[in-house]
Structure 1
Amino acid sequence: MTTTTDSTFDSTLASLGIARSTNSSSTANTTGQTTLGQADFLKLMTAQMQNQDPFSPVDNTQMVAQMAQFSSLAGISDMSTTLKAIADKLGATTTADAVSYIGKNVLVPGNVAYGRTSGGITGAVELGGDATNVNVTITGSNGEVLKTIKLGAQSKGTVNYDWDGTTDQGADAGTGPFNVTVTAQDNGATVAATGLVWAPVTSVSTTSGSAVLTLPGIGDTDASAVRQIG
């Protein structure tokens, strides 16, 4: 329902050539929302000066203070917009950045790894807390256990391991692919553990400024998931 005050306000703005806009996207606000920009402010200030009481003019000190505040707010708004544009630019991945991943090996979360030319694999375990017992189990394509690496007690953080490619029986495990499973416990209680494996980048694409890497056995992985580049 439109009130007399609203009508008077709308009429005053209309006489100055300022349109009052209503935010229709919000159903909670039924009275409308007025938005004034810099040009509108200048029109209102000019109207105030033109219609001031000549026997009681606007105090110069207050007017200068108001203009200084408005200028500061306008400057902050412009600076915020500029900084956001710079942040978006710095956060975006260029085509050259994306292409630079191709042919390199990256350390990412995953459970599939291919053997090195010299045999075996290297990887890491990310621990969410201290653990008294950390194990890495490597299995073959048929699910057979090839090697169990016991890392013992480890502190919270990243723990690296290196497997020479021989099974628990001393045989050559081949080149894989291998499935890697990590477990961690702290005096019997489960500790959050994430397995990290090395994988070659075969191709890359960019989506919304972010690089997406294609990794054998792992699939498409966002570049933000890369822990290390080798």
Structure 2
Amino acid sequence: MATTSVQNIPTVKGASDAAAKAKLGQRSLGQEDFLRLMTAQLQYQDPFNPTDNTQMVAQMAQMSSLSGITEMTSTLKTLAARMSDSGTSDAVSWIGKAVLTESATATADTKGNVTGAVELDAEAAQVKVEIRDAAGNVARAVSLGGQPKGLVDYQWDGKTNDGSAAGAGPYTISVAATDKNGQVVKARNLTWTGVSSVMPNGGKPMLTLSSGEQVLADSVRKIA
């Protein structure tokens, strides 16, 4: 008996033209596509050379795996959305509080003091802080001496080097640090500023500070 070979597999029909067009832009197969292909394979297989059972089991396992991955992806997206909402809700509780965050701009509190910190990436033999008033003039230059790695708190009473009031501000603060060999140590100024509002930002809440600046919630070092 001669063996019949299948040269051309007829096109599987059953889905509407509209559904077919909707699939044109799809780059990956879904569970329905998998089932449709398996059905076509069974329908048009060579009756004298049917699909091996082992292959069928492997394909069923792939379909099951695809379904599981799809469900897991959906679950992870839901969890990510909930975590994002939770992060924003937590940050909302900061409204009205003061946060310590990186900024070169500072304003005085009700007593005329400016409180902040210098953040050092390594131990420094010399740390200097320079404060300029709203006009750009140097209001105060202070040496903090040698300091360890980490945060170094400071407070300025709003007075210039000659003891007079520096004005209402806002002030611009710059820091410089060097190690015992005179090499630059990376440092940045941190200021205490009130939080005015919070808005969602793709899982990372954005804080609007009383100074008008906007910073990410995860950039906050301390909350008071």
Q: Which residue does the alignment assign to 1:189?
A: 183
Task: Give 2:69's aligned amino acid.
Answer: I
- Offset at residue 90 of structure 1 (A): 0.9
C-alpha separation in 1, matches of 2:202 and 2:86: 9
State the TM-score, normalized to the length of structure 1: 0.71
- CA distance in structure 2 between the partners assigned to 1:164 and 1:55 by the alignment: 95
* Contact 1:98 1:204 (8 Å CA) reproduced: yes
Give the RMSD, CA atoms, in angstroms: 3.4
Check whether the contact 2:104–2:172 (CA below 8 A) recurs between aligned residues.
Answer: yes
Answer yes or no: is the 8 Å Cα contact 2:88–2:204 preserved in 1.
Answer: no
Separation of aligned partners in 2, 1:55 and 1:120: 92
Is 1:63–2:51 an aligned residue pair? no
Aligned-partner Cα distance in 1 for 2:39–2:197: 61
Q: Which residue of 2 aligns with 1:199?
A: 193
**Counterparts of 2:89 and 2:38, CA distance in 1:** 51
> What are the Cα deviations for residues 50-70 of structure 1, in whole angstroms up to 9, with x where unaligned?
333444432323312221122
Instruction: Report the CA distance shift for 1:19/1:141 in structure 2 as closer, same or farther (over 3 A).
Output: closer
User: How many residues are matched?
Assistant: 212
Q: How does 1:12-51 map to 2 (within 5 A)?
A: 12=11, 14-15=12-13, 17=15, 19=20, 21-22=23-24, 35-51=28-44
Contact 2:119 2:152 in 1 (8 A): yes
SS, match of residue 115 in structure 1: coil
Residue by residue over 1:97-132, the C-alpha shift from the partner in whole angstroms, topping out at 9 and shown as x without a partner, is: 454232111112212223334552321222344433
CA 1:218–1:125: 2 relative to 1, 3 Å: farther
Q: What CA distance in whole angstroms lies between the structure 2 residues aligned with 1:97 and 1:152?
A: 38
- 1:15 shift after superposition: 3.4
TM-score (norm 2): 0.72
Which 5+ residue runs of structure 1 have no aligned equivalent?
1-7, 24-32
Q: Which residue of 2 aligns with 1:76?
A: 69
Q: What is the percentage of aligned positions where both structures have the same residue?
A: 48
Question: Given residue 13 of structure 2, which amino acid in structure 1 is its aligned partner?
Answer: S
8 Å CA contact retained: 1:181, 1:195: yes
